[in-house]
Structure 1
Amino acid sequence: MTEPTLPETGMKIYLRLLTYVRPYLIAFFLGIAGFILYASTQTGFAMLMEYLVDAIGEEKKDAYIYGPLALMGIALARGVGTFTGNYFTSYVARNVVHQLRLVMFDKLLVLPMQYFHDNSSGHIISKISYNVEQVTEAATDSLKISIREGATVIGLLGYLIFLNWKLTLIFAAVSPVIAVVVIVASKRFRRLGHRIQDSMGDVTHVASENVDAVQVVRVFGGTDSEKSRFSAASKQNLRQSMKMAVTEALSTPVVQLIVSGALALLIFFALHPVMNTGMSAGEFIAFITAAGLIAKPLRSLTEVNGAIQRGIAAAQSIFELVDQTSEPEAGDFKNQECKGRIEMKDLHFSYIQDKPVLKGLDLVVEPGQTVALVGRSGSGKSTMANLLPRFYEPSSGAILLDGKPLSAYELKNLRDKIALVTQNVVLFAGSIRDNIAYGATSGASDEEVIAAAEAAHVMEFVSRLPQGLDTEIGEKGTKLSGGQRQRIAIARAILKNAPVLILDEATSALDTESERHIQAALENVMQGRTTLVIAHRLSTIENADQIVVMDQGKIVEQGSHTQLLALNGAYSALHNMQLSEEKEQPNSAVERQEISE
């Protein structure tokens, strides 16, 4: 992350942050009015001290009435001002943070896949959770203190000038010294703010990895190493936080000492026999009281500087995410009646420059055909499938759907035409029904959901559950077995009823019996749909219209199962190898974990 180097950068970021305040300007100004009312009571208290001291010296008979009434009036005004200021600024700030979270989340949903490869999930989540709370601090407490204490300082300074402008100039002479302290501290606060956010991202990253991989960590004896890794990340966060604490702890007493020195100098000049201030006893007490009252708001303004700088650093991190380029929408063509003809022309693709994954692929899939992609790991099968929904853009060449390049399609319209089942099944916390009828199909009828569940053999285990399709499956479907989760994902694809179907190792988590049932269901589902099947087990794709054998990003063989066996080439070698493995190690049913009642 690039740290800001120019002095005005922080102000620009803060001003951009304040643009989110525009929808709440009325509440914002009400909050400011409340704090101005609060600030006026500080000056009012100093004026009350002048009145009371002069009243005692002049023996004013009505002072016993007006003095207490004025004190109660000041207290009431302070209470109203405090409530109004705190409530409305909090209302504005929390709404700003809410809007920022929505903007960030909306952006995450349209960022290119490359962004998620370049940034860990821990750091991304940290931006939405931790960094945005730093903005909250800058937008709530910091804003409240800045307005309230700033208005107090202005009010008290105005009153000091009214009482004796010469003494006030002496007091104001310390302002440049305070400004230097604040500027030096600000730079360090901003720098440390960036480091704290990065270290917090590391903590979140390590923690989220261990939550997701808890079984692997325990089985492979990684507990100690993961403890060390988390401890190192947390210690780095601790070190940066303590550096911030030291800076805050030093800057505050330094400013307080400077203000106290100025106050002592005031008293020296005011009481010196040579200095004739011409002030009454009441005015002198009021002057010293007002000067003393300035110390606290000045100290608060110095303390709040750290939170503001952390908020600016956090806002910069947030705006870096918001300013990322979204997925290219490119075209606006909408295919209302997609036939499903796919054509790849001289297709090249690289995740990393000069390291091609696909090298000049040419392939035609006619509407309704089932094409199986086979080959070793890393041969480019899944990459080819990922290019169809435009998760990535080809480096060169083109993919055509019904004769039009994918780049000509409106992105949403293109993806409406595609259903996807991957090896790594994604389920959401909720019921089985919610996960089958997900997203665009959430309005599907019970009959449609049940039909899809039947076709994917989901009802086979759902029928034994007390709540049926309304059974909660837990986060990521943890209450289900791998095979059950995969069948739900297949049912989701069946319900979508898209003309193009991508099955990326869709039966990998199924036992032999379930796979046989699912295979039969998939064969029915694939009728009339263009289907790309990425398969490791060759026995599952023997009936495909075409089998495409890939190696190192190229198509090395292509044809039906019978044709490829007759070639006695790469496919035949893979087929014979799997046959020998199956003979040596017979299939055994995968243990299935049923949902507890």
Structure 2
Amino acid sequence: MKEENQGMKPFYSLVLSTKIPKKGLMIGLLASIITTLASLVVPILTRELVDGFSVAAVSGTVLILIVIAFIVQAVLNGVSLYLLTAVGQKVVARLRGMVWVKMLHLPVSYFDQNTSGESVSRVVNDTSIIRQLISDHFPQFVTGFISIIGAVTILMFMDWKMTLLMLISVPVMMMIMIPLGRRMAKISRGLQDETAQFSGAIQQTLGEIRLMKSSNAERFEKKNGFAGIERLLSYGLKEARIFAIIAPLMYVVVMAVIVMIIGYGGIRVANGTMTTGSLVAFLLYLFQIIMPLTSFARFFTQLQKAKGATERIIKILDLPSEEEKNGKEIDITNKSVHVSNVSFSYGEAESVLENVSFSAEPGQMIAFAGPSGGGKTTMFGLLERFYEPTSGEIRIGEVPIKEISLKSWRSQIGYVSQESAMMAGTIRDNLCYGLEYKEDITDDMLWNVAKMRMPINLFLLLKRGLIQK
């Protein structure tokens, strides 16, 4: 509730925290503004051209000015488009970097509660929504606003009566766009959440494809997958219904205004109180007002989507990270591990471990035996400090491991997961994974380690050796 009451303040704070390229943004916006101002000159020049139109009386100066205005628009529009797109890409790159670094330093408990697919969606999809707002919709909103103000001001000087007649359409259009825009924003935010959940479910299923096939669970996963697809389809159809309402209504309003202006303007031209060129200019300015108004609904919808994406990103960035460097730097070589009365539970659930005690001497091999869910993996998670015990203490020698820096502690422990996961890359990359001094490790050292840990016949199959992927 607190975040909702803050309005767009979290969004502005998040974007500013990326150190947005202000120079590129200002130049891009300035180019957009000049492009808009150049477009406001064209109807005036067109009026002069039409009013003085005849084969002998065509003004070369006016034609040249119109061509110059079009060239200025084309060039500066290209400059603006590139700069603002570049700004948006840089902002999203920095946002993704912030979220990625944060996720790398979050405790394991976060990933126990959130699927990897949802986390990926936050890094990729939510940041892309913010990029679209900055690069596409925000420039259109600024230039559209300037275009409307400039066009209305010029029209008031040209013919205030026809201008007031035209402005009748504005409140009508706003009455259509505002409520439908809010509804669209709500649907879009629901679609984002559903997409993240669907991505998480698909990734989990494909990640455990062998388990799924060995369990003959294709029918079950097919049902779950289609259920997610149907929910996404439902949101898509809701969006389609909103667009199906907006588009025809906007078309009717726009056409009604055009017909009124042409009808009233035609009468004025016939009476001699308005020139044909002025009527043409008036219609051109009318389109410069109507087109931005129709894009405002998309801007405010995207703004609400960006607000929702911002809230989700900030929730991740505000989570406490693991304190990797805080603590002592201790060499644990040839020191005993002592586990004393350790208990642990996941949240409010029943204890997985209760009053566990044992000691492990240097060189000693200890095996944990028990049923699935008995706490064997949890015990190793506590030793790796993926979690902290609910009660009790783990010591290395006489030093509690919680007093040792995480980086120092984990750098001296070799961890082999149950799944024997392999990271993308070569055999060398995997053998040296996480080592800061891997450039100093020779191939001979790696061959010796590989021969110790891999079946010799499998090892001999690696035709490309350590660079085998």
TM over 0.5: yes
In the superposition, relative to structure 1, how do residues 87 and 306 fare at CA in structure 2: closer, same or farther (>3 Å)? Answer: same
> Hey, what does 1:19 align to over in structure 2?
16
Name which of structure 1's ranges 401-410 and 432-441 shifts more when overlaid on structure 2. Answer: 401-410
Decide which of 25, 29, 49 is 2:26's aligned counterpart. 29
The equivalent of 1:451 in structure 2 is: 448
Aligned to 2:122: 127
Aligned-pair CA distance for 1:109: 0.9
1:62 Cα shift? 6.8
Match of 1:425 in 2: 420
- Correspondent of 1:149 among 120, 144, 153: 144
- Shift in alpha-carbon separation, 1:297–1:318, aligned structure 2, 3 A: same
Q: Could you tell me how far apart the structure 1 residues matched to 2:200 and 2:373 are?
A: 27
Residue of structure 1 equivalent to 2:157: 162
CA shift at 1:322, angstroms? 2.5
Aligned match for 1:49, one of 46, 51, 67: 46
Q: Deviations 1:64-84 (Å, cap 9, x if unpaired)?
A: 311221221121011112101
Q: Is the 8 A contact 1:199 1:234 kept in 2?
A: no
Match for 1:207 among 202, 206, 218? 202
Q: TM-score, normalised by structure 2?
A: 0.88
Report the Cα distance in structure 2 between the residues aligned to 1:277 and 1:399, rounded to whole angstroms.
97
- Are positions 1:320 and 2:315 aligned together? yes
Pair 1:241-2:228 in alignment: no
CA shift in 2, pair 1:251/1:26, >3 Å: same
Per-residue deviation at 1:337? Answer: 6.0
Question: Which residue identity lines up with residue 135 of structure 1 in the other structure?
Answer: I
Q: CA deviation at 1:240?
A: 0.3
Query: Radius of gyration: which is bigger?
Result: 1
Give how far 1:219 is off: 4.2
TM alignment of 1:298-447, pairs within 5 A:
298-329=293-324, 331-336=326-331, 338-440=333-435, 442-443=438-439, 444-447=441-444
Identify which of structures 1 and 2 has the higher relative contact order when contacts are C-alpha pairs closer than 8 Å and 6+ apart.
Answer: 2
How far apart, in 2, do the equivalents of 1:356 and 1:219 lie? 31
1:187 partnered with 2:177: no
1:227 corresponds to:
222
Question: Per the alignment, in what secondary structure is the counterpart of residue 9 of structure 2?
Answer: helix
2:72 maps to which of 70, 74, 77: 77
Q: CA deviation at 1:260?
A: 4.5
**Is contact 1:398-1:405 (8 Å) kept?**
yes
Larger fraction in strand:
1
Q: Distance in 2 between matches of 1:185 and 1:219?
A: 49
Are the aligned partners of 2:184 and 2:239 in contact in 1 as well (CA < 8 Å)?
yes
| Secondary structure at 2:381 match in 1 | helix
How far off its partner does 1:436 sit? Answer: 0.9
Q: Which amino acid aligns with 2:134?
A: A
Residues 1:306 and 1:281: Cα distance change in structure 2 (over 3 Å):
same
The letter of the residue matching 1:16 is: S
SS of residue matched to 1:399: strand
In structure 2, C-alpha distance between the alignment counterparts of 1:323 and 1:63, rounded to whole Å? 66
2:272 and 2:239 map into 1 onto residues whose CA distance is: 44
Distance in 2 (alpha carbons) for counterparts of 1:404 and 1:279: 93
Give 1:201's aligned amino acid: A
Mind listing any 5+ residue stretches in structure 2 that lack a counterpart? none
Residue 356 of structure 1 aligns with an amino acid whose one-letter code is: S
**5+ residue gaps, structure 1:** 473-597
- Residue 110 of structure 1 aligns with which residue? 105
> Is residue 193–residue 313 contact of structure 1 (8 Å, CA) maintained in 2?
no
Please tell me the residue identity of whatever aligns with 1:342.
V
Contact 1:330-1:407 within 8 A present in 2 as well: no
**2:89 aligned residue:** 94
Q: Distance in 2 between matches of 1:312 and 1:177?
A: 27
How far, CA to CA, are the matches of 1:285 and 1:84 in structure 2? 30
For residues 258-307 of structure 1, the C-alpha deviation after alignment (integer angstroms, 9 at most, x for no partner) is 4544555555666677xx99755544442332123311222123234434
1:467 counterpart residue number:
464
From 168, 173, 178, the counterpart of 1:178: 173
Distance 1:210 1:177, change over 3 A: same
Instruction: Say how many residue pairs are matched.
Output: 465
CA distance in structure 2 between the aligned counterparts of 1:40 and 1:465, rounded to whole angstroms: 67
Indicate conservation of the 8 Å contact 2:451/2:459, yes or no. Answer: no
1:35 shift after superposition: 1.2
Per the alignment, in what secondary structure is the counterpart of residue 229 of structure 1?
helix
Shift of the 155–22 alpha-carbon distance from structure 1 to 2, 3 Å rule, reads farther
More helix by share: 2
CA RMSD of aligned residues (A): 3.0
Distance 1:185 1:20, change over 3 A: farther
Deviations 1:456-497 (A, max 9, x none): 24554323332122211xxxxxxxxxxxxxxxxxxxxxxxxx
Give me the whole-angstrom Cα distance separating, in 1, the residues matched to 2:232 and 2:204: 18
Percent identity between the two aligned chains: 25
Other structure's SS at 1:22 match:
coil
Inter-CA distance 111–342: structure 2 relative to 1 (3 Å threshold): same
Q: What residue in structure 1 maps to residue 35 of structure 2?
A: 38
Q: Give 3-state SS (helix, strand or coil) of 1:356's partner.
A: coil
> 1:42, 1:156 within 8 Å by CA — same for their partners in 2?
no
Matching residue of 1:556? none
